[in-house]
Each structure stands twice: as C-alpha cells, then as structure tokens.
Amino acid sequence: MAEADLVIGEGRTLAAHPLRAAVLKELHARPFMPAETPRRILHAAFLLDTGAAARDRAALSALCSSRGLPTPPAGAKHHHVSFGGADLRWESHAEFCTYTWDLPSPGVLPGMLPFQPPAVTLASPFGEMPQPGPLLVAVDLHLIQDTAEDLFLDKAFNRASLARADVNDGLAEIATDFMADPSGFVRILVRDRGLGAEAAGALVQRLLEIETYRTLALLGLPEAQRLAPAISKIEGRLAEVATAMTHSEGLSANNKLLDELVALAAELEADAAGSLFRFGASRAYMEIVKLRLATIREVPVPGFPTWQQFLDRRMAPAMRTCFAIEERQDKIARKLANAADLLRTRVDVELEQQNRDLLTSMNERTRLQLRLQRTVEGLSVAAISYYVVSLVHHLAEGVHQSGMAEALGLHFDVGLITAVSVPVVVLGVWGVVRKIRNAHGDHD
C-alpha cells in the first residue's frame, strides 16, 4: 500500500494520486522549530548552480554519517540534527540552500553587549563541510530577554540605518540595521517579552526568511543595471530606423531596414530571455518578504522606522528599477514587432508591384510571340504551297511528256493545270495549318 492511499475498510484501500503524498508533505516541508530564550542563531544562504544541490546534499550526508547521525532522506528538502549543544537545520530551495546553527547563549549579562562573543568565534561549524556555493546571506540573530536598556543598541547597530518595531502584539521587539558587521554577518536582535518557545521559533524563522528573501530579491538590480545601457541603445536605434522608414524608397532600402529591425529584436529577445528568470524570481521573493512582514504585525517604536518602512524606502526603488527594465523590454519588443510588420507590408507591396510589372512585361512578350507566330504561319503557307504547286507542275509535265494524255485523247496544258492548282493548294495548305493551330489551342 502506498503512503498516501486511503484505507476505507478492512483490507480495502483507495489508490491515491501519484503526487498526493508530495503535495501533503509540502505544507510541512519547513516547520518552525521551538526556540528557548536566550539563543544565538547563525544563518547562511548559498547560491547553487547546476549540480551543486546534489553535491551539497552529499556533503551534508557525509558529515552526518561521520558523526553517527541520521542523513537526509532521499528527496527531503530539510533536515535537522544536533551536534552536542548546537542544532543544525538544513534547507534546500530552488536556487539556494541554507544552513542555520542554533547555539545556546547566556543572554546579555550586566555590562555586556548583545552579539558577544563575536559571530566569527562561533562560526567554526560552517567550516566542517565544503562550501555549497557563493555565500549570499549571513545572519547573526540574538534572541534575548527584554530589558529596558536601549543604550546598547547604538553600540551594536548603525543608528542612521536602525529599524525597530514591536511585533507579535507587543510580545517581542526586533531591531536591525541591515548592515554587515566586521565578520560579514547582518545582525538581528530579538527581545523576548513573553513569546514562548513556539512563538519565538516562528518569529525567528520569519525574520531569517525576510533577510534571506530580501537579499535574493535584490539580485535582480545588478541584472537591471547591466541591461539598461543595451536597452537604451536599442531604443535609440529603433527611433533612427523609424525615422528612416519615413524616407526610405525601394525594395533594397526597405529590406536593409527590415534586417536591422530583426537584428535588434533578436538582441533584445536574447537579453530578455536571460533576465526572465532573475526578474521573475525577484518579484516572487519580494512578495514573500511582504507576506512575512505582514505576518509579524509590526508596531512602530517612536523615533525609528519599522522594517516595512525601511525596506519600502530603501528596497522598493531597486525593485521598481527591475520591473521598469522588464516593462521597457516588453514595450520595445512590441514596438519592434510593429515596425517590422509595417516594413514587411511595404516590402510586400513593392514585391507585388514588381510582380505586376513582370506579368505585364510577360504579356507583352507573349503578344509579340503571337504576332511572330502568325507571321511565320503565313510564310509557312506560302512556302508549303510553293512546293506543292511545284510538285503538281512536275507531275503534269511528266504526264504531258510521256504522251499519256494524247493516248487517251485528252488535251493537256501543263501551264493551265499549274495555274489552276495554285489557289486550290494555297487554300488547302491554309486550311490544314489553321486546323493544326486550332487543335493545339484546344489541347492547351
């Protein structure tokens, strides 16, 4: 019996759809892990190219096997294991993977600042396996009990970029400046005011996802900046071609312009195809960030922007740049198609004009050939008639000289017979030629 089959009675089941088990598991692919305050969480995300996901899974399996720990099941998208006092959470995504180390923390003791000791002294577990791919996200999240002390925030964060908010109906406060510390980690502080382990774990995961997905979303900006000059060049050349179309004459000139439009369209399509995934992914990641921010229910802390406000001010322009480039690509593609259609219409009209002129010329040549044929037919009638009359003359002369006419008592005049045969022969030959011509016409 398959895992997703439905048991409806003793010894009887209903066969499930082949994808039912996978669909059911997807809702539970990345469950929240409880987090007991205080905790120190180091999170990293690595981009994966073709084949890197399989190598990453193999490296994780080798690490777990070397420690006598369970390995990730085949096809699993997440795995959780404990290494002594630290917990490792691994997740596999479409184009990246994440490693999250959950470490115990003494909290913030009197006279201490959060994020102590520095993350660089705690990141040694990341070095126990090969790097899956280029590092994109590195987060140092400190979950501590709330205190009324705010002075240490200015020492832990850049005050100019600090974003703070009360979340989960005031049961916690979150703070970050979205900037990398000297070790390369982006610091996030969570002050617990009674969340509980389950709620704290859910909040921590959502904050890590916000930082991960907002960084992934911004990958579209360099692509947009790379494409902008090429798009501007195509726009300018399209305007020049459109202007030239108003003055171009002749099939050769229009074909040249059409070839240039096709080349511009091919160049634009190549860039659009290359950026299609990146811009689509950025749009999807941005939507995830918005959903996570809505879920944590931010309430502003006086004097500071919320995470939503900070990202709207700093991140939204970058996303608009990506979407504007995508929209420009689409509009230019339509304009190129319209211009090419106009030129093709003009070329087709010119070709039709040429074809018409060619047909007119062919008709004229046909008329000339017909006239020549009739002339030849007339000469042919005369020539054939001459030869036939000559034969009649020779025949009559032979009969006369042989004496056959005198023997029969006939008066035989060769000249008269020849003269009388001329119209008869001419009419006969003309009739035969006409009949042959008419027969050819019926056959055609």
Chunked into runs of 10 residues, the chain (444 residues) has average pLDDT values of: 64 74 66 84 91 88 88 85 84 91 74 78 78 92 80 80 92 93 92 91 94 94 92 90 79 82 88 88 93 93 93 90 92 88 78 79 81 72 80 77 67 75 81 76 52
Q: Which residue's entry shows tokens 């066969």?
A: 15
Residue 287 contacts residue 295 (beta carbons within 8 Å): no
DSSP state of 303: T
Residue 178 contacts residue 70 (beta carbons within 8 Å): no
Residues across the chain: 444
For 144, phi and psi rounded to 5 degrees? -130, 165
Single out the residue of 304, 341, 362, 327 nearest to residue 154, CA to CA. 304
In single-letter form, the type of residue at position 207 comes to L
The predicted structure's pLDDT at residue 443: 47
- Distance from C-alpha of 113 to C-alpha of 182, rounded to nearest angstrom: 16
End-to-end Cα separation, the chain, in angstroms: 78
Residue 84 contacts residue 104 (beta carbons within 8 Å): no
- Distance from C-alpha of 295 to C-alpha of 309, rounded to nearest angstrom: 15
Do the bridges between strand 163-167 and strand 172-180 make them parallel or antiparallel, or are there none, so unpaired? antiparallel
Single out the residue of 168, 212, 249, 248 nearest to residue 41, CA to CA. 212
This prediction has a pTM of: 0.74
Residue 163 contacts residue 310 (beta carbons within 8 Å): yes
Q: Which residue's entry shows tokens 């501590």?
A: 144
Residue 245 contacts residue 257 (beta carbons within 8 Å): yes
The predicted structure's pLDDT at residue 299: 94
What are the Cα distances from residue 137, in Å, to 153, 157, 211?
22, 18, 8
- Distance from C-alpha of 85 to C-alpha of 37, rounded to nearest angstrom: 15
Residue 34 contacts residue 198 (beta carbons within 8 Å): yes
The predicted structure's pLDDT at residue 418: 80
Percent helix, strand, coil in the chain (nearest 5)?
60, 15, 25
- Alpha helices per DSSP H over 218-247: 220-245
- Distance from C-alpha of 123 to C-alpha of 125, rounded to nearest angstrom: 6
Q: What's the token pair of residue 219? A: 């990958």
The predicted structure's pLDDT at residue 379: 72
- Distance from C-alpha of 221 to C-alpha of 223, rounded to nearest angstrom: 5
Buried b or exposed e, range 282-300, using 16+ CB within 10 angstroms: beebbebbbebbeebebee
The predicted structure's pLDDT at residue 354: 77
The predicted structure's pLDDT at residue 11: 67
Q: Which region, left, alpha or beta, applies to residue 44 given φ > 0 means left and ψ of -120 to 50 means alpha?
A: beta
Residue 350 contacts residue 254 (beta carbons within 8 Å): yes
- Alpha helices per DSSP H over 403-413: 404-407
- Alpha helices per DSSP H over 40-166: 52-66, 151-156
The predicted structure's pLDDT at residue 285: 94
